[in-house]
Amino acid sequence: MQVAKEEVEKMDEIDLCLGTNEKKDIVQYVEKYLQKQEQSQIDDVFQTKEYSDFGSVTYTEKVRAVIKVQDGCDRFCSYCLIPYARGRVRSRKPENVVSEIKSIAQKGIKEVVVTGIHVASYGKDFKKDYQLIDLLEEINQIEGIERIRLRLNRATFDK
Euclidean distance between CA atoms 145 and 41, whole angstroms:
39
Q: What's the DSSP call for residue 108?
A: T
- Distance of closest approach, residue 121 Cβ to ligand SF4, in angstroms: 9
> Nearer Cβ to ligand SF4, position 107 or 151?
151
Which of 136/155 has CB closer to ligand SF4?
155
Burial class, 7, CB count within 10 angstroms (exposed 0-12 / middle 13-18 / buried 19+): exposed
Q: What residues make contact with ligand SF4 under the rule CB under 6 A? A: 73, 75-77, 80, 82-83, 117-118, 154-155
Pairing of strands 90-91, 111-116: unpaired
CB of 157 to ligand SF4, least distance (A): 11
Nearer to ligand SF4, 86 or 101 (CB): 86
